[in-house]
């Protein structure tokens, strides 16, 4: 239950970021101090992390990675699309296809990293199992 609350909190943080209007209120003032080019790139790690959290959450519920990864990636992308549409309805903000593309880049990168970790672990376990098997043969 605690992990689910953390994921929901992170989703809320992403949602809150989409509602901030530069120059309006304290958060708008603070966000105005950061260069806009940085915000374009911030979508990639933000939504990549969302994909990782959703994947790990599904795996904690006994989903195999082969199912958890595409479902989590799709859910993160749908959330990114929904957030962009919502952001377009906030006065002073606009919908941006570039932001959605950066969301997809981050999700794709995170997915690739999780897959590469799995492949690396399988290769290593196969290698060490083979080494142990060869060691047993020599002693016999």
Q: CA 68 to CA 56: how far, in whole Å? A: 8
pLDDT, tens digit only, all 140 positions of the chain? 688 888 889 998 888 888 887 778 887 777 778 777 777 788 999 999 999 999 999 999 999 999 999 999 999 999 999 999 988 888 888 888 999 999 999 999 999 999 988 888 788 888 888 887 776 555 54
Q: Are 107 and 70 in contact (CB under 8 A)?
A: no
Q: CA 35 to CA 60: how far, in whole Å? A: 38
Q: CA 139 to CA 50: how far, in whole Å? A: 49
- Tell me, what's the pLDDT at 75? 97
Residue 114 tokens, joined: 């999780």
Q: CA 23 to CA 9: how far, in whole Å? A: 25
Q: CA 92 to CA 15: how far, in whole Å? A: 16
Q: CA 4 to CA 115: how far, in whole Å? A: 22
**Look-up of token digits 């929904």:** 82
């Amino acid at each position: 239950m605690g992990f689910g609350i953390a994921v929901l909190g992170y989703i809320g943080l992403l949602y809150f970021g989409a509602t901030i209007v530069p120059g309006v209120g304290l958060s708008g003032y603070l966000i105005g101090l950061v260069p806009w080019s940085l915000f374009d790139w911030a979508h990639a790690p933000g939504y990549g992390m969302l994909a990782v959290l959703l994947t790990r959450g599904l795996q904690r519920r006994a989903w195999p990675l082969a199912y958890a990864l595409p479902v989590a990636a799709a859910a993160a992308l749908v959330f990114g699309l929904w957030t962009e549409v919502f952001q377009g309805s906030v006065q002073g903000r606009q919908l941006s296809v570039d932001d959605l593309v950066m969301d997809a880049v981050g999700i794709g990168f995170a997915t690739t990293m999780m897959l590469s970790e799995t492949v690396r672990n399988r290769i290593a376990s196969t290698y060490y199992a083979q080494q142990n098997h060869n060691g047993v043969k020599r002693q016999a």
